[in-house]
Chains A and B, each alone.
Chain A
Amino acid sequence: QVTLRESGPALVKPTQTLTLTCTFSGFSLSTSGMCVSWIRQPPGKALEWLALIDWDDDKYYSTSLKTRLTISKDTSKNQVVLTMTNMDPVDTATYYCARSWRTPATGGLDYWGQGTLVTVSS
């Protein structure tokens, strides 16, 4: 079955760089149409999409955060990594990774990790 799990530090200091890893199973990111996204959610607030990487290694980023984000994949390890530079307390949020599969019969983010809470504080 498909599973995704986020990992990374629970606490980072302002100005530091955050590195999060999404480790998945049950699908391959080399399959045509397969994509993994990162989404975050500050406490009590709405979902915010951050970045996506697809099977062809194309990358897409949030307009407001693209200067701070880098997404990459390691297909052999079934991992997707997100880095976010210059962290600020407003970046405190639960960070999720999720899968999507672009086919005529599918759509949306159909599998999600459980999320990891990242707090930015000195």
Chain B
Amino acid sequence: EIVLTQSPGTLSLSPGERATLSCRASQSVSSSYLAWYQQKPGQAPRLLIYGASSRATGIPDRFSGSGSGTDFTLTISRLEPEDFAVYYCQQYGSSPVTFGPGTKVDIK
């Protein structure tokens, strides 16, 4: 089973700043089958990035994903007020599918 580790646990930033979130896998993620999700309180998660770097439909271009193998990054170039949320990475390249523990981005 692939274990995903996300860092930092909490990221405190101001609107307009750049956010860099890390996701590290215990073994190589097949074919970069790595996704990122945003979750706000009381809501279901929303797909942001799939295939490590492809933006899902309707996702603003301030969100970008990169990485391969075991190290992946989600970057939010300039934080908007609506971006403060919890972000999860997920690998779906091998069974079982696994999620990371999440990174909370909160307002500084």
Q: Which A residues are closer than 8 A to B by beta carbons?
A: 37, 39, 46-49, 52, 60-63, 96, 98, 100, 106-110, 112-115
Interface residues of B in 6-52 (CB under 8 A from A): 33, 35, 37, 39, 44-47, 49-51
Report yes or no: B56 in contact with A112, Cβ–Cβ below 8 A: no
Report yes or no: B96 in contact with A61, Cβ–Cβ below 8 A: yes
* Residue from A39, A47, A110 in contact with B56 in the complex, judged by beta carbons closer than 8 Å: A110
Report yes or no: A108 in contact with B50, Cβ–Cβ below 8 A: yes
* Residue from B1, B50, B95, B99 in contact with A47 in the complex, judged by beta carbons closer than 8 Å: B99
* Residue from A47, A60, A63 in contact with B88 in the complex, judged by beta carbons closer than 8 Å: A47
Inter-chain CB contacts under 8 Å: number: 64
By the criterion of a CB under 8 Å from any partner CB, how many residues of chain B are at the interface?
26
List, in ascending order, chain A residues with CB within 8 A of B47's CB.
108-110
Report yes or no: A112 in contact with B97, Cβ–Cβ below 8 A: no
* Binding site secondary structure of chain A: strand
Q: Is residue B90 within 8 Å, beta carbon to beta carbon, of the partner chain? A: yes
Of the listed residues A37, A109, A110, the one surrounded by the most CB atoms of chain B closer than 10 A to its CB is A109
